[in-house]
Amino acid sequence: MGKSLKKPDEKFQKRKAVGAVLSLNEILLDLIAATRTYEYFFLEAIFATGTENMSTGIWRMCFFHLVDALFKYVETYEYTKDIIPDSVRPLAKKLFKECEEKNIRSCRNNYGSHHRDLLMNSISPTNEIKSLIDSVIQGDQYSFIKWINNFEDVPDPSSVQSSIEKIRAEIVKVFELDGSVYEL
């Protein structure tokens, strides 16, 4: 009877917080890598002489990497929403809802890393994948990239990257995590 049931719960919550921070670190790195790749290849005019096929391939690589990273955020949010501090809970939920509205889960589960539509059990034609991409980005590659990481106005407080950084920092602060746990 001498042990409190509260202590193991606090340990579990802190372990969950560490997992959230580590996951958010990975997500940030993936988001930055994909948006910077896009910036490098498309905004720096590197592909001015490149072929359309190469440009499409680079865009798909960046897009699906971003979708995968955003889906990791969705999963992290779903698993850790109970430990997200009140001060950033609305922000975390808003980002989760934005990902859901953009059909990130469906895109990742049905097309990401697959060459076939798992729901229809058929090979996905290129125009079908292009249509899916357009539905997620709402027909605007550049705005989608800026929503994630507005490299023109860094730090952009409304970007996905800034939101995740705020959520991560608040978890670190509230759970008093050691710096080595969350450094990038």
CATH number of 15-102+142-177: 1.20.120.1060
- Which residues, listed in sequence order, are joined to residue 94 by a DSSP beta bridge? none
HEC assignment per residue over the chain: CCCCCHHHHHHHHHHHHHHHHHHHHHHHHHHHHHHHHHHHHHHCCHHHCCCHHHHHHHHHHHHHHHHHHHHHHHHHHHHHCCCCCCCCHHHHHHHHHHHHHCCHHHHHHHCCCCCEECCCCEECCHHHHHHHHHHHHCCCHHHHHHHHCCCCCCCCCCCHHHHHHHHHHHHHHHCCCCHHHHCC
For residues 116 and 124, is the Cβ–Cβ distance under 8 A? yes
Q: Where are the domains of the chain?
A: 15-102+142-177
Per-residue model confidence (pLDDT) at position 4? 47
Task: HSE, CB side, 13 Å, CA atoms: give it for residue 70.
Answer: 33
**Could you read off the pLDDT of 21-74 as tens digits, one per residue?**
999 999 999 999 999 888 887 766 555 556 667 777 788 888 889 999 999 999
Per-residue model confidence (pLDDT) at position 60? 82
Q: What is the residue type of 106?
A: S
Q: Cα torsion for 14, 19, 23, 28, to the nearest 10°?
A: 30
Mean pLDDT by 10 residues, the chain (184 residues): 57 93 96 89 62 76 92 97 97 97 84 57 65 84 88 74 95 87 54
pTM of the model: 0.83
Per-residue model confidence (pLDDT) at position 78? 97
